[in-house]
Copies of this chain bind each other. A is one copy, B any other.
């Protein structure tokens, strides 16, 4: 079988050999990329570890009910992992509260909606609802990340964290790697970012104008669930520019706010 080599780079440091538990967990992470399963040999190659070691790692994972072995003896992530993750996920307080809102917004506008929080300099997606009539498949994954500066939700949340030019400068200077240009519209300078964040504070919402992915626009509204000054997270409506133009997205702000208010009350600026 062909295996994409570049897939590995992120997961395994080819330099130093893994040992013990680290190898077990690297194996687990690696298996996530192969929904149809993968053989021991390929796995060992990818981890550049001896087959017998990987074999024992797989044994531990199977004992813990995290992976399974198909009839054709390929290894896959197992249902135990799904149960672990989903039972944890369903217990997250925020998610239960927010998901009905996302569903309502997705239904109303016919577009994919997200809820994301800020973690250091990145946004983490904690919920995602696709409308019933979704023809497109967004690349976002629950638990997945994006840089804050080039996403709608990210800017919506940064706006209330980087309130003056000084902090924006610090953010940009210490950002590692430096603000990368994803598209023609990506904001890459402290000056522009500060201006953008100020405007977001004024409006109470943020717009991603194809700054992260070409052809993808996004409207994001920060939510103040537990604090009046710092938002806990932000909801977003993500739309394909071609089908749902930017102007229409910006005109939808009040309608979206109404939906949110209906479910959560006064949680917006």
Contacts and interface: CB of A to CB of B under 8 A. Distances in A.
A25 interface: yes
Given A84-B32, A88-B32, A91-B35, A79 B21 contact: no
B63 A25 contact: yes
A161 interface: no
A118 to B, nearest CB: 12
A3 interface: no
A28 B143 contact: no
A255 interface: no
A79 B143 contact: yes
Contacts of A33: 87
A43 to B, nearest CB: 15
A22 B85 contact: no
Interface string A11-36: 00000000011101110110111010
Given A32-B87, A79-B145, A83-B144, A25 B66 contact: yes
Among A89, A90, A103, which residue has the most Cβ atoms of chain B within 10 A?
Answer: A89
Interface in A17-63: 20-22, 24-26, 28-29, 31-33, 35, 56-57, 60-61, 63
Interface of A: 20-22, 24-26, 28-29, 31-33, 35, 56-57, 60-61, 63-66, 77, 79-93, 100, 103-104, 119, 124, 126, 132, 141-145
